[in-house]
């Protein structure tokens, strides 16, 4: 089995403005989706949860604050899954809640040292 | 007793300690038969064990001194033989130390459970053999090898150094967890024996809570988990062959006091920010102590299983999670997920698929249940599956 990183990108939604019930439902959706991959024994690492705020360093020492209005989509978080092929890893990415909000999932093989 | 005596004279004398203890009980049976029960049987046992211990080690000392007088230094000769101390405090400390000695990763985990049962819980070899569905000879061999290991690895009867306690505690907790599961899910028909295993696991767990360094949140979580499961012990048993499944249990038979205890320990386990698999399993078991189905109940159980899969994947967790998905989010979603699991050699997998297809596509349901029937290993399980097939009409 190879490992693939699934990187989530989604338009910069302000979660703080979401009604709490919607936010809870969204969190549940993510958890159920990740649970489905884990149930197949294909979750390699739950990755890291990245906060939505942050800073960006650019050439010339220019530091900009997030939210990152310049780039249309922000990198949400990532998980690492186990799959035999790129096709299988892509299949696992289906159903990802990022897709519901016009986001995307980027599937990248992880190099074996 | 074995723990106290071994503590005093070292683990290399563990067999002598066991002999002394069985001699003590033998003497008790003989004496009590003739003279009746003494006013305080426990104290009587400790006094006799103490005498026997002193006698044995004195005799041993004389023997050693006569056989090898030339290599005995003066200093060693003057070493007094301490008498064993059977105070409550010392019993507790010795048991805790013995628990860590027995649950040493150098020993195979099955043997660790066996040793714990023999030495800390006082089980007979035949009882241990029955619990493991094995024979006395195998168990004896296993215990013998384990005791050899205690000797050759020079395992000391003491708590590990502070920085190691956390790591070693994981193994101790795991052994207690296995001991409990052995009792709860054992195939043996002997109900009293099975209940004893669960009670002993709980008792060992509670011993850990008496010492600050081992009374961690995960220790409390494990105890909570055991309390919740044990509360359903009586409701699960009919005295007949197969356990009564959760759905058919009479919630009135659940032990309210154990549930209360479980909630108490669950509360204690919430200190700190560690979430161990015991925490998650204890919370799942807690929700199962509420018989009424509700959306909240199943959403919580599903969420806990999702988290449990991330820390501790196993096919059975995956199956339970899919069942929770069915109860929380509906049949359709659960079916899609269930079809992806591909646990093709697991009869529970096909029982679950049968359950999910039931009432929607009975032909498929029947095929899955028939597959489960073929894969099931015991007659009791096959019988249960046949009933499900007959239910389809």
Query: Are residues B107 and B202 part of one domain?
Result: yes
Predicted local confidence at residue B66, as pLDDT: 59
CB B353 within 8 A of CB B338: yes
- How far does the CA of residue A96 sit from the closest CA of chain B (Å)? 14
Q: Which residues of B touch A36 (CB under 8 A)?
A: 337, 340
- Do the chains contact at A32 and B309, CB–CB below 8 Å? no
The domain containing residue B347 runs over which residues?
Answer: 343-393
Q: Which residue of A has its CA nearest to B313?
A: A41
Considering only CB atoms, A36 lies closest to which of B303, B307, B337, namely B337
If one counts the domains in chain B, the total is 3
Tell me the ipTM for this assembly.
0.83
Q: Is A58 helix (H, G, I), strand (E, B) or coil?
A: strand
* DSSP assignment string, B309-331: HHHS--HHHHHHHHHHHHHHH-H
Handedness of CA A56, A59, A60, A61 (dihedral sign): positive
Mean pLDDT score, B158-166: 85
pTM exceeds cut of 0.90: no
CB B278 within 8 A of CB B218: yes
Does residue A31 carry a pLDDT above 50? yes
What are B225's two structure tokens? 């988990």
Q: Is B101 helix (H, G, I), strand (E, B) or coil?
A: helix
In this structure, the number of other CB atoms found within 10 A of the CB of residue B120 comes to: 21
Q: Which residues of A touch B323 (CB under 8 A)?
A: none
Q: Which residues of A touch B334 (CB under 8 A)?
A: none
Is B183 within the bounds of a domain? yes
- Do β-strands A2-11 and A55-58 pair in parallel, antiparallel, or remain unpaired? unpaired
Query: Are residues B82 and B103 part of one domain?
Result: no
Query: Are residues B38 and B19 part of one domain?
Result: yes
- Do the chains contact at A43 and B322, CB–CB below 8 Å? no
Say how far apart CA B162 and CA B243 lie, in whole Å: 43
CB A33 within 8 A of CB A26: no
If one counts the domains in chain A, the total is 1
Is B304 within the bounds of a domain? no
Is B292 within the bounds of a domain? no
Does residue B78 carry a pLDDT above 50? no
Does residue B379 carry a pLDDT above 60? yes
Of B56 and B384, the one with more pLDDT:
B384
Please give the DSSP secondary-structure letter assigned to residue B346.
-
Say how far apart CA B390 and CA B273 lie, in whole Å: 49
Say how far apart CA A16 and CA A20 lie, in whole Å: 9
Considering only CB atoms, A32 lies closest to which of B306, B310, B313, namely B306
CA angle B262, B263, B264 (to 5 degrees): 90
Say how far apart CA B314 and CA B323 lie, in whole Å: 14
- How far does the CA of residue B319 sit from the closest CA of chain A (Å)? 8
- How big is the A-B interface in CB pairs under 8 Å? 43
Whether the upstream peptide bond of residue B382 has omega within 30° of 0, thus cis, is no
Q: A104: domain CATH number?
A: 3.30.70.1060
The residues that bridge with A58 in the sheet, in sequence order, are: A62
Query: Are residues B69 and B104 part of one domain?
Result: no
pLDDT digits (tens, 9 = 90+) for B126-156: 888 887 777 889 899 989 988 888 888 888 8
pLDDT digits (tens, 9 = 90+) for B381-393: 899 899 999 998 7
Does residue B60 carry a pLDDT above 80? no
Query: Are residues B114 and B68 part of one domain?
Result: no
Of B207, B222, B250, the domain-final residue? B207
The domain containing residue A40 runs over which residues?
Answer: 2-109
Does residue B119 carry a pLDDT above 90? no
Is B95 within the bounds of a domain? yes
Test mutation, B305, B310, B344, chain A, max A CBs within 10 A: B310
Say how far apart CA B309 and CA A31 lie, in whole Å: 11
**How long, in residues, is chain B?**
393
Mean pLDDT score, B144-172: 86
Q: Which residues of A touch B340 (CB under 8 A)?
A: 36, 39-40
Query: Are residues B203 and B97 part of one domain?
Result: yes
Computed over every residue of chain B, the mean pLDDT equals 84
């Amino acid at each position: 089995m190879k490992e693939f990183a699934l990187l989530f990108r989604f338009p910069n939604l302000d979660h703080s403005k979401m009604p709490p019930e919607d936010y809870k439902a969204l969190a549940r959706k993510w958890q159920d989706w990740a649970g489905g991959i884990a149930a197949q024994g294909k979750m390699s690492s739950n990755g890291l949860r990245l906060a939505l705020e942050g800073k960006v360093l650019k050439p010339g020492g220019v530091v900009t604050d997030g939210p990152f209005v310049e780039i249309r989509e922000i990198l949400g978080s990532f998980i690492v899954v186990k799959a035999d092929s790129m096709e299988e890893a892509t299949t696992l990415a289906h159903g990802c809640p990022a897709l519901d909000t016009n986001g995307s999932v980027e599937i990248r093989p992880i190099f074996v040292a | 007793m074995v723990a106290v005596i071994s503590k005093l004279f070292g683990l290399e004398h563990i067999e002598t300690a066991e002999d002394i203890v069985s001699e003590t009980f033998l003497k008790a049976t003989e004496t009590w038969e003739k003279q009746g029960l003494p006013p305080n049987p426990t104290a009587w046992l400790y006094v006799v064990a103490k005498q026997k211990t002193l006698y044995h080690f004195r005799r041993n000392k004389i023997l050693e001194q006569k056989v090898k007088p030339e290599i005995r230094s003066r200093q060693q000769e003057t070493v007094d033989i301490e008498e064993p101390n059977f105070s409550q405090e010392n019993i507790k400390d010795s048991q805790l130390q013995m628990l860590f000695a027995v649950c040493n990763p150098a020993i195979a985990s099955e043997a660790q459970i066996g040793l714990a049962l023999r030495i800390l819980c006082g089980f007979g070899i035949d009882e241990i053999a029955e619990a493991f569905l094995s024979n006395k000879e195998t168990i004896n061999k296993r215990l013998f090898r384990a005791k050899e290991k205690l000797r050759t690895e020079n395992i000391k009867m003491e708590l590990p150094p502070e920085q190691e306690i956390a790591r070693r505690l994981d193994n101790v907790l795991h052994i207690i967890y296995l001991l409990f599961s052995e009792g709860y899910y054992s195939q043996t028909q002997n109900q009293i024996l099975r209940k004893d295993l669960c009670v002993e696991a709980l008792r060992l767990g509670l011993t850990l809570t008496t010492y600050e360094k081992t009374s961690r949140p995960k220790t409390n979580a494990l105890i909570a988990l055991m309390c919740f499961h044990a509360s359903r012990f009586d409701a699960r048993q009919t005295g007949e062959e197969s356990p009564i499944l959760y759905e058919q249990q009479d919630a009135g038979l659940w032990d309210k006091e154990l549930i209360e205890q479980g909630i108490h320990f669950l509360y204690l386990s919430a200190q700190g920010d560690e979430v161990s698999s015991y925490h998650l399993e204890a919370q799942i078991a807690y929700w199962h102590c509420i018989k009424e189905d509700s959306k909240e109940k199943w959403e919580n159980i599903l969420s806990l299983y999702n988290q449990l899969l991330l820390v501790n994947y196993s096919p059975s967790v995956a199956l339970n999670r899919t069942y929770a998905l069915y109860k929380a989010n509906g049949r359709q979603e659960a079916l899609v997920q269930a079809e992806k699991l591909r646990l093709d050699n697991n009869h529970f997998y096909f029982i679950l698929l049968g359950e999910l297809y039931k009432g929607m596509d009975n032909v498929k349901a029947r095929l899955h249940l028939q597959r489960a029937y073929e894969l099931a290993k015991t007659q009791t399980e096959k019988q249960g599956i046949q009933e499900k097939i007959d239910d389809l009409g």
